[in-house]
């Protein structure tokens, strides 16, 4: 049986006024995809999930995405897939072009394929906007994520009350700053990329749910998804090593967000973590 921490602040569903979103952090390789397929049905039932967002930047062999891996995740229930700095590291990145269910960081420089925001309805017809941003601190010098967020909000004005932002970044400070920057203007700012779940989930004063990192969906007997022996050898010797995707202690990590569909404000956010047997 899958283990799932209960939703401790779960609120009663008010008829017609509540959307519940599950968003999970970086799905890593085959193990991560397996976790999504095996664990999502129980989470959907337990939490009454209406919409499922997954960061898929590492879903194909640990780097990038392919059409096959995306199709597998969509078949498992993912509604929208987000990405990050590894999105173009697999030749299969063409899968993001033209598919309205996939977004890559909006603030890649002009000329990058794909799109950085989308609007996809829930099964009940509630439009959900999803925006993907990439941090710049300790990362590639992409365009400004804050300016990109402003542009996205302008473009999305009037299209969807519910707007979820994946802030894919290394630095905690840059993610926290984005949370405050967008507080009251989007439903949630959820961080991805570090592969380690943080315990700082909260609803900010103006109604934006925030968590610095959703955590990894993949093998935890690893160093952020890669076989630990090779990574340790690299740190110890400083010599290049071949980093294979690990396989054991597979978990799904993310957060459930309760949302008022009329206002787009978050009512609550809780962390979830489920493990394969
Ligand atoms: Fe990343
Ligand atoms: Fe990642």
Per-residue pLDDT of the chain (277 residues; tens, 9 = 90+): 333 333 434 445 544 479 999 999 999 999 999 999 999 999 999 999 999 999 999 999 999 999 999 999 999 999 999 999 999 988 888 888 889 999 999 999 999 999 999 999 999 999 999 999 999 999 999 999 999 999 999 999 999 999 999 999 999 999 999 999 999 999 999 999 999 999 999 999 999 999 999 999 999 999 999 999 999 999 999 999 999 999 999 999 999 999 999 999 999 999 999 999 8
State the distance from the centre of ligand 2 to the C-alpha of 43, rounded, in angstroms.
22
Concerning whether 234 is annotated as a catalytic residue, the answer is: no
Nearest to 127 by CA among 15, 258, 261: 261
State the distance from the centre of ligand 1 to the C-alpha of 93, rounded, in angstroms.
15
State the distance from the centre of ligand 2 to the C-alpha of 254, rounded, in angstroms.
13
- CATH number attached to the domain at 3-7+18-217+252-271: 3.60.21.10
The structure's pTM equals 0.94
State the distance from the centre of ligand 1 to the C-alpha of 77, rounded, in angstroms.
22
Please report the pLDDT score of residue 98 as a whole number: 87
Vertex 198 angle, CA 28 and 230, to 5°: 40
**Nearest 5°: phi and psi at 276?**
-70, 150
Which ligand gives the minimal distance to the CA of 24?
A: 2
Rounded distance, CA 147 to CA 152, Å?
9
Which ligand gives the minimal distance to the CA of 26?
A: 2
Catalytic residue among 47, 86, 168, 193: 86
């Amino acid at each position: 049986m899958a283990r799932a921490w209960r939703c401790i602040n779960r609120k009663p569903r008010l008829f017609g006024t509540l959307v519940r979103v599950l968003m999970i952090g970086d799905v890593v390789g085959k193990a991560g995809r397996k976790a999504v397929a095996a664990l999502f049905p129980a989470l959907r039932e337990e939490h009454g999930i209406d919409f499922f967002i997954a960061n898929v930047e590492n879903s194909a062999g640990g780097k990038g995405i392919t059409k096959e891996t995306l199709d597998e995740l969509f078949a498992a229930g993912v509604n929208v897939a987000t990405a990050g700095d590894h999105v173009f590291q697999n030749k299969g990145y063409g899968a993001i072009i033209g598919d309205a269910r996939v977004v890559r960081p909006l603030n890649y420089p002009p000329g990058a394929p794909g799109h950085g925001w989308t609007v996809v309805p829930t099964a009940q017809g509630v439009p959900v906007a999803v925006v993907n941003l990439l941090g710049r601190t300790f990362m590639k010098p992409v365009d400004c994520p804050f300016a990109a967020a402003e542009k996205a909000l302008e473009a999305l004005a009037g299209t969807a009350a519910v707007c979820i932002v994946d802030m894919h970044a290394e630095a905690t400070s840059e993610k926290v700053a984005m949370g405050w920057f967008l507080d009251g203007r989007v439903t949630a700012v959820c961080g991805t990329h570090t592969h380690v779940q943080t315990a700082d989930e909260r609803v900010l004063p103006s109604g934006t749910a925030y968590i610095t990192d959703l955590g990894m969906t993949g093998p935890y007997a690893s160093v952020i998804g890669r076989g630990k022996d090779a990574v340790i050898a690299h740190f110890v010797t400083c010599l290049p090593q071949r980093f294979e995707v690990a396989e054991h202690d597979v978990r799904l990590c993310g957060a459930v967000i309760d949302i008022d569909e009329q206002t787009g404000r978050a009512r609550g956010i809780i962390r979830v973590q489920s493990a394969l047997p």
